[in-house]
Amino acid sequence: MPDADLTLQTGNPAHGGSVVARDDGRVVLVHYALPGETVEARPRGKRGGVAWATAERILESSPERVAAPCPHFGQCGGCQWQHARYETQLEIKRKVVEDQWSRAGLRFPPAAPVLGMADPWRYRIRGEFEAIYPAAGGFELGFHRLRSHSVLPIRTCPLHDLRIERALGAFRQAVPELGIRGLKHVELTVEPAGLGLLWRAALEGRPAAAPGELTARVAELLPDLVVLDDSLDYEFWGLRFRVRSDTFVQANYRQMQVLYQTALDQLAPTPGDAVLDLYAGIGTISLALARRAGSVTAIEENPQAVALGRLAVRINGVTNVEFRTGRVEKALREVRLGAHQVALLDPPRAGLEQAAVAELLRLGPQRIVYVSCEPSTQARDIAALVRGGYRVRRAAIVDMFPQTYHIESVVLLERTGA
Ligand SMILES: C[S@@+](CC[C@H](N)C(=O)[O-])C[C@H]1O[C@@H](n2cnc3c(N)ncnc32)[C@H](O)[C@@H]1O
């Protein structure tokens, strides 16, 4: 028999999009609630040893609560905070970061701004959708349900660019028409300033139709877009890049510019500086940095991204950016002591390997700007850098992922006693 619903009073937000409540002293993480509410919550089991639940009825509502606009909210695992006013979402993110820092023995700078979006919707230019072949026939695309492997078919997603939503409809129609079986997921990217729609699909077994046929059919269904299956144009600040589906690109194009501006302002490179850009992707930050710095050494493990970075260097006529392919923790061993004054880091969620921290401490750049999409690993790594002789100078949270629990933050560290 399922456990009976619990009446709970909710407290602080937790990382991951829930709020903390107590049931007879036992911690329960409640989704779809807000701090300061009384809710009837349905127990959903345990995750990592901690009980979690979903708010089914709001008995006493927070004044910060709003109606979630998406019809899939509450089932779809993509969004956690649509029911909170946007300003409240930003406050929640600050609290979560403060908490992560304090767990790592640090104090998040109280003056750090939280930079939100003027319009926190339709900001994603890239999305990855799970493919489903329902027993009744047809083809659907969707997202995982909250904390589940099962897939919820979706018809709308107000976080994605409208062109992506339209493309979902075109794939839903074209895939069964062509009798294509075995698609696992479809990734779609749109050109921020152009007409390009780039797609890639993961397949199980052999497809019944070549991707070319699918591209052609989707192109017929979306005559106002240019459907691409290799790469598309990505431009910002007068810099031009080519992007492929297998290379990282910031999904929130509008807010990416706020993120990069914040990172550049914190790093404040001068023409006398040689900069290390670590986890460089296709070199978007590297090329922006190169306009202000003497030179940039970009390190990235994905050879496709490095190839596109080198292509961008040629397209933009840049002469002071050098790319190196490799894992940061290994590639830094080849970097000469004293060759770089400043470093910018933008690792994936896992943060820095210990060897990368050790190499950074060996090289000892005067300033480090650490851009991160995961506050827990960033706080852990910053604590290690602080133990190694750095001091936190500035920080900012840049909301790259409105309506969701994901948090991006930028921190400036300076070497002390240099
Ligand atoms: C968060 S992305 C940042 C990319 C870039 N800075 C940007 O803004 O587009 C992280 C990048 O690090 C790369 N990466 C992941 N682990 C790495 C490692 N150990 N060494 C080098 N690159 C790595 C990934 O391929 C990805 O391109």
Q: How many domains does one find in the chain?
A: 3
Q: Are residues 337 and 188 in the same domain?
A: no
What are 377-409's pLDDT values in tens digits? 999 999 999 999 999 999 999 999 999 999 999
Q: Which ligand 1 atom is nearest residue 279's CA? A: 12
- Probe ligand 1: pick from 234, 237, 241, 248, max atoms within 8 Å of CB? 248
- 88-108 pLDDT, tens digit each: 999 999 999 999 999 999 999
Please list, in sequence order, all residues whose beta carbon lies within 8 angstroms of the beta carbon of residue 104, skipping any fewer than 6 positions away.
379, 380, 382, 383
Return d(Cα 274, Cα 295) in angstroms, integer: 5
Q: Does residue 277 sit in the same domain as residue 383?
A: yes
User: Are residues 354 and 401 both part of a single domain?
Assistant: yes
Query: Structural domain of residue 304, as residue ranges?
Result: 102-117+252-415
**Do 141 and 49 belong together in one domain?**
no
Domain co-membership, 286 together with 188:
no
User: Is residue 148 included in any domain, yes or no?
Assistant: yes
- Six-digit token pair at 253? 């194009």
Rounded mean pLDDT, 191-219: 87
Residues with CB under 6 A from ligand 1: 248-250, 279-281, 284-285, 299-302, 305, 327-328, 346, 348
Same-domain pairing of 269 and 344: yes
Q: Which atom of ligand 1 is nearest to the CA of 344?
A: 6
Q: Are residues 275 and 381 in the same domain?
A: yes
Q: How confident is the model at residue 1 (pLDDT cuts 50, 70, 90)?
A: low
Tell me if 391 is assigned to some domain.
Answer: yes
Q: Are residues 26 and 152 in the same domain?
A: no
**403 assigned to some structural domain:** yes
Instruction: Tell whether 318 and 399 lie within a shared domain.
Output: yes
- What is the pLDDT, as a whole number, of residue 45? 94
Q: Which residue CA neighbors atom 18 of ligand 1 most closely?
A: 327
The verdict on 294 and 320 lying in the same domain is yes
pLDDT tens digits for 8-66? Answer: 999 999 999 999 999 999 999 999 999 999 999 999 999 999 999 999 999 999 999 99
Task: Tell me, yes or no, whether 311 and 410 share the same domain.
Answer: yes
Does residue 262 sit in the same domain as residue 210?
no
Q: How far is the CA of 345 from the centre of ligand 1 (A)?
A: 9
pTM of the predicted model, to two decimals? 0.96
